[in-house]
Amino acid sequence: MTEPAFGQRRAPLRVGATLLAAAFALSACSSSAASPSATGATVTTGPTTAPASQTAAAACSPDEIRLVGQVRNVSNPYEAAWLAGGDFFADSVNLKQQKLTYDGDSQKQDSQIRTLLASGKASCTILNVLPNGDGDTPVLVKAAQDAGALIVSQWNKPADMWPWDGYDHWVSHITYDGVDAGYQIGKALISAMGGKGNILALQGVLDASAAKDRFSGLQKAIAENPNVKLLDQQTANFVREQALTVTNTWITKYGSQIGGIWAANDDEALGAVQALKSAGLAGKVPVVGIDSVPEALSNIKNGTMLATISEDPTWQGGIGLAMGYCVLTGKLKVADISKDDRAFYAFQALVTKDNVDKYVSAPDAATYKTEWGCDKVFSRVFAPMVKG
């Protein structure tokens, strides 16, 4: 994907029914329509309607507003950057972000949200959440809807569940084109391998749209290259330590058969790099990931990683809170937000040694401040998720 300027939107794309590379299909996970090029399996969910006294139209005074960011853990640098972005936004409006981590445990995530909503003023609360998997989003949205809180979800949701289908407290769903991301790093990996050889794939959380879509992108890249084989794939749940363990096992099992390692995120890629370093193979076996975290960028610069996809977790952590803040202060109405902006794909770009220098600077709150304005919160929409 070429990198457009912010504000330049791609034309609306509808989720198609084309099957990708059936010969490489993964039986352990179902399909999901989480990217413009993904095939969508439907998961039926139903809207709930909040009591009339809990509509999203009522404004709160700024000092009443509660900002909440929730991710899996802060040991993942991507998710740590997400919460840092939430802090940037909170500081800009003289509030504090309440930070929650659920360690990849769906029940813990649900329990944290329900406990939080039962205390304080739910109607002046904005939740900016990373659902653990697709199936967790309906639970979290319903909890927010029933309590009268606002919610912005990111990355994961059922393919047929949309904010505009009766969820007036679900402000927006933000994701990235996972199929394109997996495909772009897959193509880069195959090119570095000379168009032939064996790929090992580290998958993410199997119930997560992002993981499923990214792997579908890899399948697409492999299907276009008959001299490339998917030698093995295992989930590492987006966790570096699990990726390290899996890669160590693969090095012992496959040795010189390994042509390249594809990882569903940078944390997994860094675990693979660590294993390769221990085996004296760092820089000899190309490794790709997704998220553009600082450590991954450093490894791309020194040649121990090949490529990543730049998203912007710092922006994600701030923008969800900014959207909700605009609604809660009466500067934005959920009913006035277009479908294009209530479920969308944000900008992303391939990062290699050729362009890594532009991404290595530490995030600065001033960089994002203009995007938090209530007339700018949708400035990074690249393409809408159009109900097909």
pLDDT digit string (tens) for 181-196?
999 999 999 999 999 9
pLDDT digit string (tens) for 96-118?
999 999 999 999 999 999 999 99
CA dist., res. 278 & res. 289, Å (int): 19
Using pLDDT thresholds of 50, 70 and 90, give the confidence band for residue 141. very high
pLDDT at 10: 52
Residues 6+ apart with CB under 8 A from 169: 50, 54, 56, 141, 144, 145, 148, 149, 150, 151, 334
CA dist., res. 287 & res. 200, Å (int): 10
Distance of CA 152 to the CA centre of its chain: 13
Q: What percent of the chain has pLDDT over 70?
A: 85
Using pLDDT thresholds of 50, 70 and 90, give the confidence band for residue 19. very low
Mean pLDDT to the nearest integer, 44-69: 66
pLDDT digit string (tens) for 371-380?
999 999 999 9
Q: Token pair for residue 342?
A: 């209530």
pLDDT digit string (tens) for 311-362?
899 999 999 999 999 999 999 999 999 999 999 999 999 999 999 998 988 8
pLDDT digit string (tens) for 146-184?
999 999 999 999 999 999 999 999 999 999 999 999 999
φ and ψ at 346, to 5 degrees?
Answer: -95, 170
User: If residue 77 lies in a helix (H) or strand (E), which one and from where to where?
Assistant: helix 77-92
Same fold, 52-176+313-346 and 178-310: yes
Using pLDDT thresholds of 50, 70 and 90, give the confidence band for residue 8. low
pLDDT at 195: 98
**What residues does each domain of the chain span?**
52-176+313-346, 178-310
Between 86 and 367, residue with greater pLDDT = 86
Distance of CA 206 to the CA centre of its chain: 14
CA dist., res. 328 & res. 226, Å (int): 54
Has residue 11 got a pLDDT over 60?
Answer: no
Report, in this order, helix, strand and coil percent for the chain, each rounded to 5. Answer: 40, 20, 40
The strands making up 197-203's β-sheet, listed across from edge to edge, are: 228-235, 197-203, 258-263, 287-288
Question: Any idea which fold 178-310 has?
Answer: Rossmann fold (3.40.50)
CATH no., domain 52-176+313-346: 3.40.50.2300
φ and ψ at 69, to 5 degrees?
Answer: -115, 135
Smallest Cα–Cα separation from 216: which of 188, 185, 240, 192? 185
